[in-house]
Structure 1
């Protein structure tokens, strides 16, 4: 059973999948940083200086001092963070679209089938018959 597991793990598909998962995590971090540090400040600038990450609707205010007995944390709907997540999703989707499009361009199209024509023997027979006439 251990030998079968080793054969399964060492197949190309599993290794390729593992590499893809690791790269996807790294690309996710890069894209998250790009959205949070570059795109959202630009969007906030054109939206009148808003920081979407801090936008929220407070349902219950915080009361008391944090760390002391009787402290109640703020309860809020953080819709700005959700907007950031949606922008992140759109950018990741667009990047994945570009990657797949570039990958599809690298694939070579299958060669068209050669047209069915006369064989060499048939051509030689035609030449022979022409010379006899």
Structure 2
């Protein structure tokens, strides 16, 4: 659900730089301050997160969603899955689907590393095997 103003949502760029594995606790991130960053501008109270395989989870926070709230919702849905069950276990980022009012969750096989300048989507650690994107 979006706030009543229907203002266009701007997604926090920090969501593209987490290098986070979806079956691990968000609190295990190297940069735990990232968890407090608002997920969107303007703030929203809840959003549906849709995975590529069709599964959906809802993230909620009455004070305004943070990146940590979104990661917690994703983790809750994946915490019991083993690493070998996940084809693409790392969060690449989110994309807003305005027509359907949800965020698409983008995953990748290797963690992306965040850049300190805040620009771009980060680099891949190693290029090995195939690169599913």
Q: TM-score range by the shorter chain?
A: under 0.3
Q: Which has the higher contact order (CA 8 A, sep 6+)?
A: 2
Normalization by structure 1: what TM-score? 0.22
Q: Which structure has the highest helix share of the two? A: 1
TM-score normalised according to structure 2 size: 0.22
